[in-house]
Amino acid sequence: MLYREAGDFKTSYIADSQTFPIRFDRWRYYAVLAVAFGIVPFVINDYWANAVLLPFLIYAIAAIGLNILTGYCGQVSLGTGGFMAVGAYACYKLMTAFPDVSIIIHLVLAGGITAAVGVLFGLPSLRIKGFYLAVATLAAQFFLVWLFNRVPWFYNYSASGQITAPERTVLGVAVTGPEAPAWAAYLLCLVFVTVLALVARNLTRGKQGRQWMAIRDMDIAAEIIGVNPLAAKLSAFAVSSFFIGIAGALFFAVYLGAVEVGEAYGIQKSFLVLFMIIIGGLGSIFGSFAGAAFLVLLPVFLKNVLVGGLGWPSDLAAHLEFMIVGGLIIFFLVAEPHGLAQLWRLAKEKLRLWPFPY
């Protein structure tokens, strides 16, 4: 009943090929956007912004980025943390070198720089595949973190080796630094998420996305039907790194404000984002959001329930959290190997027929 196509006529090709062809789905999407832009900024507080929403939005961008590379183009990458670090350090260098330029331009440029670095580290993908490529990107992860720790120029020779985001404003409102109000930081991230998700969605639906998917499904066959593997793979690396770079820059500038590369962008970040897309669903934009939400919200939720609600000792709760999150990951992968996105797809199919399934 809910997701019905009956009576939902399309009279133009544009209408037929829109992102959300089912009317109910479209309205749901608009409703989510309206709540996110129209209501949340007015009720948000520091805790919600810093503990829940900012990490969710930023990880969603990173997950979309990795999903383009791994889910759509089939190139496994373990270098996400390193590429996020490139975004963060690029953003930091730009922010401190050109303080008068808008932070938004810096964030986009940071994404661009990361895209260039991503292409560089994507070159081996033309020769190696699968696990071997994963190892090659792992090398990128370790090399990049080592580089940012090793070369003082990247952190402006500060004594502690940390980078700290100076205050920057958008339309007169601070979005980075400690004085930034929660709603401003949230809105900045939300705008980036919305725009980038739209871009990703349309890229993956179009010619470029089809090339990526052809490469993913069988690269030799794709080459035979005229897909240039060089262009397809490197463009996947570039676009993916662009997204991840912006996520890394937001993570540093807006969310944390000060980072230490080894801790904030270490190998565990790469795994976290990889888990997000595996749990969320490979090759799905919605899956990226679902996976990010799952892995960001669940620990916070469990902690609040176990420590805040039940009053358990914090160390017991922390250990249980590992076990519950780990157990749920295994459960989800066993019950639904295609991730949360597939569950959502099935639910939609069922809802279409409900209440008269045949």
**Which residue, 228 or 268, has its beta carbon nearer to other proteins?**
268
- Dihedral sign computed on CA atoms, order 336, 337, 339, 344: negative
- Which residues, at least 6 apart from 111, have a Cβ–Cβ distance to it below 8 Å? 87, 241, 242, 243, 245, 246, 249
What radius of gyration, in Å, describes the C-alpha atoms of the chain?
A: 21
**Which residue, 233 or 269, has its beta carbon nearer to other proteins?**
269
**Which residue, 63 or 115, has its beta carbon nearer to other proteins?**
63
Q: How far is the CB of 317 from other proteins (least distance, A)?
A: 7
Buried b (16+ CB within 10 A) or exposed e, 21-46: ebebeeeeeeeeeeebeeebbeebee
DSSP secondary-structure letter at 356? S
Q: How far is the CB of 32 from other proteins (least distance, A)?
A: 8
Q: How far is the CB of 249 from other proteins (least distance, A)?
A: 16
What whole-number distance in Å separates Cα of residue 127 and Cα of residue 34? 46
Element of type H or E holding 164: strand 163-164
CA atoms within 13 A on the CB side of 39: 6
Q: How far is the CB of 66 from other proteins (least distance, A)?
A: 19
**Which residue, 122 or 257, has its beta carbon nearer to other proteins?**
257
Residues that bind other proteins (CB under 8 A): 46-47, 50-52, 55, 149, 159-162, 164, 166-167, 177-179, 256-260, 262-264, 266, 289-290, 293-294, 297-298, 300-301, 303-305, 307-309, 313-315, 317-319, 340, 343-344
What whole-number distance in Å separates Cα of residue 58 and Cα of residue 79? 17
Q: How far is the CB of 175 from other proteins (least distance, A)?
A: 14
Q: How far is the CB of 62 from other proteins (least distance, A)?
A: 14
**Which residue, 190 or 264, has its beta carbon nearer to other proteins?**
264
**Which residue, 4 or 344, has its beta carbon nearer to other proteins?**
344
